[in-house]
Amino acid sequence: MMSSALLALHPLAAIVWAGGVSFAHIGPTMSSVLLALHTLAAIVWVGGMFFAHMALRLAVVPMAPKDRLELWGRVFPRFFPWVWLAVAVLLGSGWALVLTVHGGMAGAGLHIHLMNGLGTLMMALFVLLFFGPYARLRRALAKGDLPRAAAAQGWIRRIVLVNLSLGLFVSALAAGGRYWG
């Protein structure tokens, strides 16, 4: 049974879950295009988080705190528009695939349900990060308040680590979930 929390996150979920939305099969070419867009959007977002957490974060450790925080203040405004685009593409292509290939959530496998739920959680965490710690980081940097900027950056790092872990797990689901049986 679908939880009320999922229904609140996706207003059309009740109709889709029940198989109430029916689309004609769109053909293998369009399905391939949707899947490619979905995969590329996930690569941009998860790959960007991997780079930021596993490479850039470690590379800036020797820098002075002011320089390190200012660098993050320049990196995030260049990366986050790509994340917003990835979120939009993931939502659009994901639901298009569910509706056209699976005929709704009722026809989708467990791995699709898990990807949908965890992907929604990842998106919620990104929205929280963007309007919470990232907004605080920008304000603190604008005022030259390095302790508050560092605290905000610490929260960004924690949220990115959680989202990166979820993103890698969801990627594994996408790659192998259909073979669970």
- Could you tell me which residues come within 8 angstroms of residue 114 by beta carbon, excluding any fewer than 6 positions away? 170, 173, 177
The total of other beta-carbon atoms located within 10 Å of residue 105's CB is: 23
Residue 118's Cα: distance from chain center in Å? 9
Out of 81-85, 92-96, 98-102, pick the least confident. Answer: 98-102
Return the domain boundaries, the chain: 28-175
Task: Classify the phi-psi angles of 104: left when phi > 0, otherwise alpha if psi is within -120 to 50, otherwise beta.
Answer: left
pTM of the model: 0.83
Predicted confidence at residue 22, as pLDDT, reads 41
Residue 162's Cα: distance from chain center in Å? 11
d(CA 162, CA 173): 17
The total of other beta-carbon atoms located within 10 Å of residue 23's CB is: 12
Q: Please say whether the beta carbons of 122 and 100 come within 8 A.
A: no
Predicted confidence at residue 42, as pLDDT, reads 97
Predicted confidence at residue 68, as pLDDT, reads 97
Backbone angles phi, psi at 132, to 5 degrees: -105, -95
pLDDT > 90? residue 24: no
**Helix, strand counts (H, E) of the chain:** 8, 0
Q: Please say whether the beta carbons of 83 and 48 come within 8 A.
A: yes
Exposure of 12 in the CB half-sphere (CA atoms within 13 A): 13
Q: Closest Cα to residue 168, out of 35, 43, 34? A: 43
- Measured at the alpha carbon of residue 15, what is the angle toward residues 13 and 20, in degrees to the nearest 5? 140
* pLDDT single digits (tens) 104-163: 899 898 999 999 999 999 999 999 999 999 999 999 999 999 999 999 999 999 999 999
